[in-house]
Structure 1
């Protein structure tokens, strides 16, 4: 347990910087919608971040963009780069095998961070480059991680999400419903994207299924398949792709464990 209360101003500033990074170009209104902070607070955070060199006005002067200085914040963290490199040939081969793209994601504090994807070619790119942060409770990659991680870690994650005011975290405040969902994931051996998330992000055109990348040491990552709803039903996908998806996850776990 922490020995002091978190510094609220720092928390708000980091939230603003995170959303600027995610949106690529963020207006005050967009930041208000994403963070729930009042606009006066957002302006103060932006002006502070601009003073420190982490954001600047966009060329069109319609919003703010992150600067190169933000790269300094990630110099001490390279796990996602290493796992991304190890995963790339496996994902490429897997896409050629099944015809649908996949993501490999790691848990990162309060989200799943995509470290490698095969969505960067063909029509199913959807701007999901490595580094994209996906919500835990609504995505297949997040649900797969939460269902199979250590129970104590699961409780910590849920508690952390419960205090974050975000529509994507609503399930954290419905413990019975969430536990039933995760029990179903474990019983079936895979997780699916939430319909509400599919509606918001993809106009309900896409859905996804995901499995854990795990071994005797525990869960290391998660692996999904992204598919078009009008092209393949969930039942068809389970019959045709669940076996290859689990085999690929086992292969990834072996590669990650051995580092080669």
Structure 2
């Protein structure tokens, strides 16, 4: 099949992919330099993306950042919308019973994407922004997602990681195997000292992205956090969500 290039579309996608990986904004000149194009080539593309709501331009600095438009579009997709709708009720009950924040994530290409969160009802709780993305190998949630993502996807991801970072791939492959054997993950201080991540897979999700329920427990002494009890609450909640998804296959 012949390949038909659409230059303007290529420019727009290059810009979105570039800015999606940046926490800070970029100027028009910086975007041009990073994408290997001239300012004149990208000027109208930037204007169109801003007008359509995909980019936001700070009026003071002139820096462009990605809006939440793409995230909102993803949530209109029926499988993802159905997953969130099924999960929110059980997640609210889990948060109330545990006194902790909990979140729901999916595997999105090479990233862990947080798609829903229920905040802690108490004075303490670790929150992750809905829409936040993390490299799969950098989180406990990523290990659980990959462990239940299917053999083909798991192999492809680990092979790609090995080509880029062999030592990291070896460690992560061992972690994925350990998580799969245990049926869940419980790890302290992976990304932040004082936080224990308890993560269970959401199973029975054919037609849905691979998903995981995470409870990032903030350790406090008043009251003392009972991690074993939270593990059981999270297990029951993941089972409940999984059971709600199976009839939707």
Counterparts of 1:131-146 in structure 2, within 5 Å, are: 131-146=131-146
Whole-Å separation in 1 of the counterparts to 2:215 and 2:115? 15
2:180 alignment partner in structure 1? 186
- TM-score normalised per structure 2: 0.72
User: Relative to 1, partners in 2 of residues 1:98 and 1:71: Cα closer, same or farther, differing over 3 Å?
Assistant: closer
SS in structure 2 at match of 1:256: helix
2:102 alignment partner in structure 1? 102
Q: Does 1:248 align with 2:237?
A: yes
1:50 alignment partner in structure 2? 46
SS in structure 1 at match of 2:157: helix
2:114 alignment partner in structure 1? 114
Which of 192, 212, 216 in structure 2 is aligned with 1:222? 212
Counterparts of 1:8-157 in structure 2, within 5 Å, are: 12-19=14-21, 23=23, 26-27=25-26, 39=34, 41=36, 47=43, 49-53=45-49, 54-61=54-61, 63-66=63-66, 74=74, 77-119=77-119, 123-124=124-125, 126=127, 128-129=129-130, 131-157=131-157
Tell me the CA shift for residue 135 of structure 1: 2.4
Please report the RMSD computed on the Cα atoms of aligned residues, expressed in angstroms: 4.1
Whole-Å separation in 2 of the counterparts to 1:68 and 1:115? 12
Q: Conserved in 1, the CA contact under 8 Å of 2:199 and 2:212?
A: yes
User: Relative to 1, partners in 2 of residues 1:207 and 1:46: Cα closer, same or farther, differing over 3 Å?
Assistant: farther
User: Relative to 1, partners in 2 of residues 1:39 and 1:85: Cα closer, same or farther, differing over 3 Å?
Assistant: same
User: Relative to 1, partners in 2 of residues 1:46 and 1:89: Cα closer, same or farther, differing over 3 Å?
Assistant: farther
Tell me the CA shift for residue 112 of structure 1: 2.1
Tell me the CA shift for residue 193 of structure 1: 5.5
**How many aligned residue pairs are there?**
233
User: Relative to 1, partners in 2 of residues 1:38 and 1:157: Cα closer, same or farther, differing over 3 Å?
Assistant: farther
Tell me the CA shift for residue 38 of structure 1: 6.5
Whole-Å separation in 2 of the counterparts to 1:246 and 1:56? 40
User: Relative to 1, partners in 2 of residues 1:161 and 1:193: Cα closer, same or farther, differing over 3 Å?
Assistant: farther
| Uncovered stretches (5+) of structure 2, i.e. residues with no partner | none
| Uncovered stretches (5+) of structure 1, i.e. residues with no partner | none
SS in structure 2 at match of 1:240: helix
Q: Conserved in 1, the CA contact under 8 Å of 2:103 and 2:213?
A: yes
Tell me the CA shift for residue 213 of structure 1: 1.0
